Chains A and B, each alone.
Chain A
Amino acid sequence: MAGEIGALGVAIYYAPETTINTRPTTGFKQKATGTDLNIADYVTGVSGLSADLEVGDVTPISTPQYGRRSFVPLLYGNDGNIKFNCNINPTSRDCWNAICDEFQALTGGKGMWFEIIFPGDTDGYFFRGEPCPMQMPDFNAGEVVQGEVQIIESANDGYQTKVTA
């Protein structure tokens, strides 16, 4: 048993900052007040969290022909777009957009933090970002109506002890 997990059961929380640029330690919730669905109830998958490690080429100029290049690790980075793929319908749209409204109502430069918790994990994965309202998705007859909502990442604390309230 190597502890593998499936993605079914992943929980997604969010919390507005009470102090600018400081990850909240309380106040995490799964849905906006007055809405019906938790975020994970309409999210089918998440992309954009994975960050590639940039590398720098430090190959000496004296390296002979057919020699090997040398590299050093630099910074982790993605393109800043974290995407939640969603089943889109009026209910999920209202639920997500209520979170966006909550973000827009923040003042003084305060942001919003998101937390993703794998099933059975004692840690959560934390990032700070701006949630963007749900847009009109592409769709096809005979298929489920789905689309992506975006969170523009502005900070990332990685795995920390999970917070669920």
Chain B
Amino acid sequence: MKYTNNAIFTAIRNAVKAEYADANCVQMYTPTPAKFPTVFAREIGHFTPQQAWTLTNAQDISERTWEVQVFSNLSTGSKEQAYEILDICKDVMRSLYFIETFEQPIDQQDKSIYCLVARFRRVIGGGEDMPTS
């Protein structure tokens, strides 16, 4: 299976759902999630590294950046839950050879919501298939 956006998102969603069956996993951003916990995962960067440009522009390789946001609104333990869910996502991204390049909590206007964001990056060639577990 190729590294398509849907395949990567599905891998994240399936792993999260295996542990948190009621989790809301989405690719489309909404300012306030409709339900909790929510995992918002999407590709935020996709380009061909200049280093890989060939003379005929025939290269099939891209540098991809993914962002995962986790929202929890538990009255107690929202931070712990957010980190647990993010850890699941990190394991998935690690298994897909994405390297985490950023991770931090994001303040929310609604202080009952805890939000974590992480970003992941890797170079993917068109000849590569996603590893099967």
Extra 7 A-B pairs, beta carbons < 8 Å, given A40-B54, A144-B49 = A8-B53, A8-B56, A41-B56, A87-B54, A144-B61, A144-B125, A146-B51
Report how far A10 CA is from B54 CA in the complex, Å. Answer: 9
Report how far A41 CA is from B55 CA in the complex, Å. Answer: 6
24 A-B residue pairs with Cβ-Cβ distance under 8 Å, sorted by A, are A7-B55, A8-B57, A9-B55, A10-B55, A37-B58, A38-B58, A40-B56, A41-B54, A41-B55, A41-B56, A43-B55, A44-B51, A44-B54, A87-B54, A87-B59, A87-B61, A89-B125, A89-B127, A91-B127, A142-B122, A142-B123, A143-B49, A144-B49, A144-B123
Which chain B residue has the least Cβ–Cβ distance from A141? B99
CB distance from B48 to the nearest CB of A (A): 9
In the complex, are the beta carbons of A42 and B51 less than 8 A apart? no
Chain B residues in 8 Å Cβ range of A10:
55
Chain A residues in 8 Å Cβ range of B57:
8
Which chain A residue has the least Cβ–Cβ distance from B54? A44
The contact string, 1 if C-beta is below 8 Å from chain B, for chain A 64-93, is 000000000000000000000001011100
List B residues at the A interface (Cβ < 8 Å).
49, 51-59, 61, 99, 121-123, 125, 127
Assess whether A112 is interfacial by the CB under 8 Å rule: no
Assess whether A12 is interfacial by the CB under 8 Å rule: yes
List A residues at the B interface (Cβ < 8 Å).
7-12, 37-38, 40-45, 87, 89-91, 141-146
CB distance from B102 to the nearest CB of A (A): 15
Chain B residues in 8 Å Cβ range of A37:
58
In the complex, are the beta carbons of A44 and B127 less than 8 A apart? no
In the complex, are the beta carbons of B52 and A87 less than 8 A apart? yes
Q: Which of A9, A12, A143 contacts B51 (CB 8 A)?
A: A143
Report how far A11 CA is from B56 CA in the complex, Å. Answer: 8
Report how far A145 CA is from B60 CA in the complex, Å. Answer: 12
Chain A residues in 8 Å Cβ range of B123:
142-144
Q: Which of A40, A90, A144 contacts B55 (CB 8 A)?
A: A40
CB distance from A29 to the nearest CB of B (A): 15
